[in-house]
Amino acid sequence: MAVTLAEVAAHAGVSPATVSRVLNGGYPVAGGTRTRVEQAIESLGYIANGPARALAAATSDLVGVLVHDVADSFFGILAGSLQRALAPSGPGAARKLAVVCNTEGAPETELAYLALLEGQRAGGIVLTGGAVEEPEHTSALTARIARTAASGAPVVLCGRPPLPLPAHLPVATVMFDDHGGAFRLAQHLLALGHRRIASIAGPPGLSTTRERLDGHRTALRQHGHGVADSCAALTVHAGFERAAGYDATRELLRRGAPFTAVAAANDTVATGVVAALRDAGIRIPEDVSVAGFDDLPFCGDTAPALTTVRVPLREAGTLAAHLVTGRRPLPPGGITTLPTELMVRGSTAPPPDERSSP
Amino acid sequence: MAVTLAEVAAHAGVSPATVSRVLNGGYPVAGGTRTRVEQAIESLGYIANGPARALAAATSDLVGVLVHDVADSFFGILAGSLQRALAPSGPGAARKLAVVCNTEGAPETELAYLALLEGQRAGGIVLTGGAVEEPEHTSALTARIARTAASGAPVVLCGRPPLPLPAHLPVATVMFDDHGGAFRLAQHLLALGHRRIASIAGPPGLSTTRERLDGHRTALRQHGHGVADSCAALTVHAGFERAAGYDATRELLRRGAPFTAVAAANDTVATGVVAALRDAGIRIPEDVSVAGFDDLPFCGDTAPALTTVRVPLREAGTLAAHLVTGRRPLPPGGITTLPTELMVRGSTAPPPDERSSP
DNA sequence: ATGAAAGCGCTAACAC
DNA sequence: GTGTTAGCGCTTTCAT
């Protein structure tokens, strides 16, 4: 058996309660006593039993991190910085453990993992990535989160819109300015002279899809001159994988409606778009411009380098970690919106017409 | 308070033990009783208390997954497939939770997390990625793992060499044929006509670095004609990030020793190599060929597409999950070596000399 | 500032 | 097949 707290207590000549106190801090313990206990812990190689502690305290050091898929760099980067920020360096820092759950973006899986984490008495939960905006799921999710938060475990929504919850619950929201980013990206394309701009949007019903598409269309509408009219014909919904971008682009080409630029749901999809266009003999950006979203690390190394919108994933992960551990107080109103930034690279250029007739 | 097992028992008119039995299976319970219990669980919305269960059973549903960095696609993909395989679909499947820990490749961090996971009574542990081959650390690690495994929690070493442990302990090793992959990659370069092949190797002291470099050099040596002689001058050790590849390449250029091909430690490093060469006015693959390792998803989309060695990350993750949960018995000898595959793409071509003088 | 004692919710012998 | 009964190792009032 492993060394127990009681053995440490015996070894140090104090009561279990005292050992518990020096372990958990926040309680007055005489200097000498503390030292003796610490030495006992050290010499016995004591490691606290997490489950026992969690059972007694009704909360654990586990932090649930729900992502659509860690293999996707978007989530990998987010989860990575989150995990890192959860483990503050320095001696005796109360190390939180990140329990990473792939929801695949499926509502039922999301709920199932939340139940599982509740069962583990997770000390906090971070839900990342776009939310499925279906009334039934939203209310089920809201109810479940309300329970978790009411039990004292902070919940952070990261990269998704806030939920209608009582203000007193420990729930915070960290959003990305997807709308603004998409808006500025569309403006960039319009400024280059593009008028027929296609969208390979994300899955319908997802908050991220809605926000990016809204920002995009708002810019087109604002530009006027009927630029927004062809939206329906030039929009294809697809998944977030490269293959989805490839297939959606083929579908777009099949439709036959002309376009000179494509705004993809994200960078990964954009690589699929580029591949499909190229396979169709279309040059980028000479014939058609392509833009991504997120600014994943590979964006600068693709051919051509991808124009995109930077989403501050690392910052978001760190912030989410601080909020969920209570190291940073909940922001007033509970919502923080992180800025996005347009990154112009080689995959966008003026449309063919503009070049031939300057 | 949450609903407890005792309440479920009362509601169903049975004893707590019976409820526990239907919950955990593997024990005979009369059909009718089982049904009543299941209904009680359902109607009360019972969720088992993980910590309590872990305390009593001395093992939890937590599986520790140590990675260098989840934000790195290599580990993201590995961790993703592992996590997915840990959560078998189907009703009532005993869902294991993946606790992802970023070790940054640092020995102390690795040990610290192992201690933390031991404290959590993790039901299994998977250590992924290259191992730091320093005698002191290896023995500390071996001791720690021996303890964990002795307590009944399976340990899987994934992508790193086996450790000298008693055969009766539940420890399995899943390796990649890095040596063979690097060997074949070097052969490919030699076959193209390259004779001065540089290596941007990984950090010294890491098993992955050693194996890939060994494979590479074995091929050069085997080729003869003094091809292996320039190894020292043409080898630079660096980290696994893109920036490391960039800097190492500049260092290589600074040295002045001529080379016509570069084998990078991995794909990410290779992108940095490509960027540095390009910034120096060197064309790829016309002037210099570049190859990566791992075959991460972006390899086909870079300019030019990257020749590399495919490492079966998804397969490894799934296998590791099966081994650590006991769903797959430990292989005889405890070691499984997964094959790697040479992926020839556009970044490698014959060296300049060969073209001008055919 | 420290100790004593009562659980936290579950599993696992052991009876019946 | 099902019930009884001890703990598992820790936290946390409540005393002192």
Arithmetic mean of pLDDT, B188-210? 97
* pLDDT tens by residue, A139-178: 999 999 999 999 999 999 999 999 999 999 999 999 999 9
Mark yes or no for CB contact A298/B303 under 8 Å: no
For residue B194, which of B290, B273, B271, B272 has the smallest C-alpha distance?
Answer: B290
Q: How far is the CA of A244 from the C1' of D9 (A)?
A: 51
Range 44-73, chain A: CB under 7 Å to any strand C atom: 55-56, 58
Q: Do residue A97 and residue B79 have CB atoms under 8 angstroms apart? A: no
Q: Residue B305, Cα to own-chain centre: how many angstroms? A: 24
Q: Which nucleotide is nearest to A58 (CA to C1')?
A: C8
The tens-digit pLDDT sequence of chain A (358 residues) is: 789 999 999 999 999 999 999 998 878 888 889 999 999 999 999 999 999 999 999 999 999 999 999 999 999 999 999 999 998 765 555 689 999 999 999 999 999 999 999 999 999 999 999 999 999 999 999 999 999 999 999 999 999 999 999 999 999 999 999 999 999 999 999 999 999 999 999 999 999 999 999 999 999 999 988 887 888 899 999 999 999 999 999 999 999 999 999 999 999 999 999 999 999 999 999 999 999 999 999 999 998 999 999 999 999 999 999 999 999 998 877 999 999 999 999 999 999 975 444 3
Backbone φ and ψ for B111, nearest 5 degrees, come out as: -65, -40
Are the C-beta atoms of residues A194 and A289 closer than 8 Å to each other?
yes
Contacts of B126 (CB under 8 A, 6+ apart): B63, B64, B65, B66, B82, B155, B156, B158, B320, B321, B324
The reported pLDDT for the residue numbered B27 is 80
Nearest to A102 by CA among B125, B87, B322: B87
Assess whether B201 and B347 both reside in one domain: yes
Distance in angstroms: CA A118, C1' C13: 30
Does at least one atom of strand D sit less than 7 Å from the CB of B24? Answer: no
Domain boundary among B31, B46, B61: B46
Cis ω on the peptide bond leading into residue A304 (within 30° of 0)? yes
Q: How many CA atoms lie within 13 A of A316 on its CB side?
A: 31
Positive/negative CA dihedral, A109, A114, A115, A121: positive
Burial class (CB in 10 A: 0-12, 13-18, 19+), A241: middle
What pLDDT was estimated at residue A356? 47
pLDDT band at B29; cut points 50, 70, 90: confident
Q: Which nucleotide is nearest to B37 (CA to C1')?
A: D2
The 10s digit of each residue's pLDDT in B119-147 is 999 999 999 999 999 999 999 999 999 99
Q: A102, A72 in Cβ contact below 8 A? A: no
Does pLDDT of B276 surpass 80? yes
DSSP A27-44: S---HHHHHHHHHHHHHH
- CATH number, domain containing residue B33: 1.10.260.40
Instruction: Confirm whether A136 is domain-assigned.
Output: no
Check whether B178 has a pLDDT greater than 90: yes
Do the bridges between strand B124-128 and strand B155-158 make them parallel or antiparallel, or are there none, so unpaired? parallel
Q: How many other C-beta atoms lie within 10 A of the C-beta of residue B306?
A: 30
Is residue A81 in a domain?
no
Q: Which domain holds residue B258?
A: 178-310+342-355
Q: Residue B242 falls within a domain, yes or no? A: yes
Q: How far is the CA of A14 from the C1' of C7 (A)?
A: 21
| pLDDT level of residue B64 (50, 70, 90 thresholds) | very high
* Residue B113 lies inside a defined structural domain of this protein: no
Averaged pLDDT for residues B8-26: 92
Query: Is A229 inside a domain boundary?
Result: yes
Residue of B nearest to A271 (CA): B301
pLDDT level of residue B330 (50, 70, 90 thresholds): confident
Q: Averaging pLDDT over each range in B9-18, B173-182, B231-240, which range is the top one?
A: B173-182
In a domain, A110, yes or no: no
Per the structure, the count of domains in chain A is 2
Which nucleotides on chain D have any atom < 7 A from a protein Cβ?
1-13
Is the minimum distance from the CB of A24 to strand D below 7 Å?
yes
Percentage of residues of chain A with pLDDT beyond 90: 88
| Domain contains A65 | no
The closest CB to that of B99, out of A51, A99, A116, belongs to A99
The pLDDT confidence band at residue B159, using thresholds 50, 70 and 90, is very high
In a domain, B25, yes or no: yes
- Reduce the DSSP state of residue A166 to 3 states and report it: coil
DSSP labels for B26-45? SS---HHHHHHHHHHHHHHT
How close, in Å, is residue B149 to chain A by CA atoms?
13
Q: What is the C-alpha to C-alpha distance for residues B155 and A112, in angstroms, rounded to an integer? A: 27
**Average pLDDT of chain B to the nearest whole number:** 94
Q: At residue A155, what are phi and psi to the nearest 5 degrees? A: -125, 135
Residue A291: beta bridge partners?
A263, A307
B67-100 pLDDT, tens digit each: 999 999 999 999 999 999 998 765 555 689 999 9
Percent of chain B predicted with pLDDT > 70: 97
Give the DSSP letter string of B59-72: --SEEEEEES-TTS
CA-to-C1' distance for B18 and C9, Å?
15
CA A76, distance to chain mean position in Å, is 9
pLDDT class of B358 with cuts at 50, 70, 90: very low
> How much is the pLDDT for A331?
82
Write the CATH number for B193: 3.40.50.2300
